[in-house]
Structure 1
Amino acid sequence: MTTVHEHGPRMNLWKLVPEVYKGMAAVEAAASKGLDPVIAELVKIRASQLNKCAFCLDMHFADARKLGISQLRLDLLEAWEEAHGLYTDKEQAALALTEAVTRLDGGTPQGHYVPDEVYERAAKNFEETELAHLISQIVSINAWNRFQVATRAVPASLKENKESGAE
């Protein structure tokens, strides 16, 4: 049964179509191979910010902290272009590509493409197979975001707060 709530989940999609979850998990695992875990988490967070996916933001901020990514780097990720010296050239190239792939507007009203300069910047910072993993990671997190936003998945931290009465 599908339930619609103003501030709650619409459905448990993964319970209804577990084969889709298994497929997504396989794509995620394959995309992550050969990619620096810190870059992977920064990409997941940045795409999730752009897609306004609270479920994924909650999960990936926690995962990033476990990896030792500083709170300052997490706090300023949304403004990474202005946070001079806080992100490496390679991280900046990954974040620029994340934004371009997530938005697919090409920077123009006629857009719907990844600008050459963004792709070339990434290609200079990542060897070809690693770049393929990066693109796969970006596509994967965008898909996860869309599933979670469409079904209004409740972030784990919010569930924990409700269960403990700490709202």
Structure 2
Amino acid sequence: MTTTQTTQTTTHMHGQRINLAKLAPEVYRAMVALDAAARKGLDPVVAELVKIRSSQLNHCAFCIDMHTRDARRAGESEERIYLLSAWEEAGPVFTEKEQAALALAEAITVITDGFVPDAVYERAAKHFEEEELAHLIAVVFTINAWNRIAVSTRMAPTLGR
């Protein structure tokens, strides 16, 4: 296979496959309701940080675009958004609570070992009350579902449109 052929098979230069909201409106409305319920009681900045980080891991351009804009509206700085993909190396740029949330989000998103390590869960449990932790977990599994919807249907980022 030539370099051109390789690029053509790995780059998605075409439009959206289907419109889930139009073709399965009940599913879409249920996802919107789940998303709203998951966010209740959770700091909006923390919610957006974990949504962005999970979306980065899932290569979901649509959700990265959406949630970086949402994070800015919630008061997040450009610098912290830029450093999010390297949060573990960013030192005190992220609070211990945010770091615990990001570690848990990564463990849930990339559940390749078949479990979330106890140390990661316990770290998050130290910084979040039980109800808040439940909502954090819900935000993470909800964004992972949204990522799978957007990636499988090839939703394109709107880039602020």
TM value normalised by structure 2: 0.90
Deviation of the 1:14 alpha carbon: 1.1
When the two chains are superposed, the root-mean-square deviation of aligned CA atoms in Å is: 1.1
Find 2:153's aligned residue among 148, 151, 154.
151
Match of 1:121 in 2: 123
Separation in 1 of the partners of 2:72 and 2:95? 18
User: 38, 48, 70: which one pairs with 2:77?
Assistant: 70
Distance across 2 between alignment mates of 1:112 and 1:35: 26
Match of 1:163 in 2: none
What is the CA–CA distance in structure 1 between the aligned matches of 2:135 and 2:79, rounded to whole Å?
26
Following superposition, the deviation at residue 7 of structure 1 comes to: 2.3
Secondary structure of the 1:157 match is coil
The total of aligned residue pairs comes to: 150
Mapping of residues 41-52 of structure 1, within 5 Å: 41-52=48-59
Q: Could you list the structure 1 runs, at least 4 aligned residues long, displaced by more than 3 angstroms after superposition.
A: none
* Superposition deviation, residue 29 in structure 1: 0.6
Question: What SS does the corresponding residue of 1:34 show, helix, strand or coil?
Answer: coil
Q: Distance in 2 between matches of 1:80 and 1:89?
A: 11
Q: Partner residue of 1:38?
A: 45
The aligned amino acid for 1:92 is Q
User: 3-state DSSP class of the match of 2:116?
Assistant: coil
Task: Give the unaligned 5+ runs of structure 1.
Answer: 106-110, 161-167
**Which residue identity lines up with residue 23 of structure 1 in the other structure?**
A
Higher helix share: 2
2:16 maps to 1:9: yes
- Percent identity over the alignment? 63
| Residue in structure 2 matched with residue 164 of structure 1 by the alignment | none
Q: Specify the code of the residue in structure 1 equivalent to 2:28.
A: Y
User: Is residue 2:115 matched to residue 1:98?
Assistant: no
Distance 2:78 2:19 in 1: 32
